[in-house]
Structures are given as structure tokens and as C-alpha cells.
Amino acid sequence: MNNFKLQDISIDYEKSSKVFFKKSLKIFNKFGVLLIKNFWNRNHIEQTIRNCDSVLSQPSIGGSKGYSIKDFNKKTFDPMLYDSYAVKYISNRKLIKLVESFVDDEILIGEYFAKYDLGNNKIYFPLHSDYEIGTDLMKNKKYIVTKKLMNECFSVGVILYLKKTDEGCFTYSVGSEKLRGSYGLSLDSYPEKIKDSIVNNVLKVKGNKGDLVIFDKRSFHGPDQPSKSDRFVYIFEYIKKKAFGNIIKCPPPLTLSDLQGLNKKQLNVLGIGLKSMIPFKNHHLRSFNQKKEFSFLKLFIDLFYKIKN
């Protein structure tokens, strides 16, 4: 049991006004995680939820609007494709400025997806770290996480709660970012003593609809599981430019008209005109065709249209 409290890592954007950036940086540097309240326009969050409700109501079949599903634990989808507000959140100038202060550099978009975790009381996504020395982003030894890079906060994760979440909330092992992923990504590969300290320092980051969690992705983190409650979040990531150069992880799909009004810097963060490490088709949201079930469903759909015709 640790002594960390949610209030230690929390900041209210509306109440902190002028000291927001300074205070947020202080919290992030000390704890590696930050919970921001009242950052977004409430009406925009409500509209986002309405936009998402229609996506979450049906799977994407035959190219229809809907969610992706690869197992019975979660539904996922591309947030910027179905929700124009997601473009605004991810390219938000205040958020960019804040994260740039955390990584001490300009940033580019990394990960991005909407995730609806089904509270099925299973541990399907345990505490884990996202990076270790040697992580090969493109699996071709071109973009490798070096020991030097692991000594810097080079990747920041962002979670936007779209539903009040207590049970099943995001958890963060305070101080685990300082381990620099030295024994790997899985908790089981760590010596017992370190493993115990990682687990004992876990802080449950409970949040309300619209709350934003920002965290160092070198840490141990993950949803609090098993959980009987559903969780709905937007998850995205920013990577500092100096880490891998002027290249994004994977290009995000969106409607071009939603880029209207964004300035040069915002467009750059979204990766407009930049090359990517991972091809669009290889993003994990689009890999259902690599599952065994795919051939069965494909056969079913093909057969259905054959009979119908």
C-alpha cells in the first residue's frame, strides 16, 4: 500500500489559471502522471459521446461505420475518423504546449485510438510498460529505443475519460518510469523485490467524464483489472521529435475537412506531409484480417452475397 493520493497528481485547469503550466510540469516531473480536470469544453465532450454512441452501437461490417473487434474484451475505433472533436483534442494548442514542456522538445502524434473496455471481470490487459531498451518500432532495426532515449521522457500517453470511471480506471505505478524498462515490458520479468515495489506504488487514477490523464509511457501502467465496469476512453500518444526525427508512428485516418482552421504547428503534430514508421494498413486497429476468425467471416459474407445474387 502506498501513500500517494489522487489529489497529489490532480490539477483543475479552470481554477489554476496562470499557474497551470508551471504546476502541471511540477506534478509530472515528480510523479510521472497528471490528472487534469475541467480542461475541455463540456459541450464538446457531450457531442463526442453522442458521436461515439452511434459508432459503438454496431461493428464495422462490409465497410460500414462501426467499431473494430478482435476479441470479446474490447471495442476499438479510429477516433479522428468518426469524431471531429477528437481532431480538436489531439491537436489542441494548450495540450501541445503542455506536453512539449514535459518532453522538452516539439512533439508528433504517436498512438491514437478509442477503446471501450467491456467489464467482463477478466485480466486481459495487465500492468505493463510500453518501451524498453531495444524496442524496435518498425521491426526492421531502423527505429530502436536506445538506452540514451530511455533516460529521457520521450513518449507521453494521454487518456481522455469519456465515462465516469472508478472500478477499471487507469492505474500508474508511481516512480516506475525511473526503472527505464530495465528488465523488459512485462512485470513477470522483474526481480521479486522490484516487482513488489512496482505493484505497491500503483495509484488508481479514477476520473470523471472529460478528465484527462497524461503519463510517462516508460512506466508500468494499465487498466485496473479485473473489473466488472465498462471503461470508455480515447487513448493517444505524443513522441518527442528528437527521439526518431520528423516521422510519425502511423498516419491517422480522418476527414480532410476536419483539418480546417488548424495552424502549421498543429498540422505538423498530426503528421501532415510526414512519413510514417508503420504503414497505415498495419496499425493494430486494422489487423483483423490476420486473425483465424477472419477467413470464416469472409467466407460467410462472400457466401451470403453469392446466394443473394
CB nearer to Fe ion: pick between 82 and 215: 215
Shortest Å distance, C-beta 113 to Fe ion: 12
Q: Which stretch binds Fe ion (CB under 5 A): 25-33, 89-97, 123-131, 194-202?
A: 123-131
CB nearer to Fe ion: pick between 173 and 268: 173
Q: Which stretch binds Fe ion (CB under 5 A): 39-47, 128-136, 142-150, 241-249?
A: 128-136
Number of residues located near Fe ion, criterion CB under 5 A: 1
CB nearer to Fe ion: pick between 130 and 211: 130
Is residue 130 within the footprint of Fe ion (CB under 5 A)?
yes
Nearest to 270 by CA among 143, 86, 28, 39: 86
Is residue 224 within the footprint of Fe ion (CB under 5 A)?
no
Shortest Å distance, C-beta 110 to Fe ion: 11
Q: Which stretch binds Fe ion (CB under 5 A): 70-78, 127-135, 163-171, 227-235?
A: 127-135
Shortest Å distance, C-beta 219 to Fe ion: 9
CB nearer to Fe ion: pick between 82 and 113: 113
Shortest Å distance, C-beta 126 to Fe ion: 10
CB nearer to Fe ion: pick between 45 and 187: 187
Site string for Fe ion, 154-193 (x = CB under 5 A): ----------------------------------------
- Please say whether the beta carbons of 140 and 99 come within 8 A: no
Q: Which residue is nearest to Fe ion (CB)?
A: 130
Rounded distance, CA 225 to CA 47, Å?
A: 29
Concatenated DSSP letters of the chain: -----GGGGEEEHHHHGGGHHHHHHHHHHHHSEEEEES-S-HHHHHHHHHHHHHHHTSB--TT-S-BB-SSTTEEEE-HHHH-HHHHHHHT-HHHHHHHHHHHTS-EEEEEEEEEEE---S--SS-SB-S--TT-BTTSSSSSB--HHHHTS--EEEEEEESS-EEEEEEEEETTGGGGTTTT-SBGGGS-HHHHHHHHHTEEEEEE-TT-EEEEETTS-EEE--S-SS-EEEEEEEEEEHHHH-SEESSPPP--GGGGTT--HHHHHHTTTT-EESS-GGGSGGG-GGGSHHHHHHHHHHHHHHHHH-
Shortest Å distance, C-beta 287 to Fe ion: 17
Shortest Å distance, C-beta 296 to Fe ion: 30
CB nearer to Fe ion: pick between 85 and 116: 116
CB nearer to Fe ion: pick between 84 and 129: 129
Is residue 132 within the footprint of Fe ion (CB under 5 A)?
no
Residues at the interface with Fe ion (CB under 5 A): 130
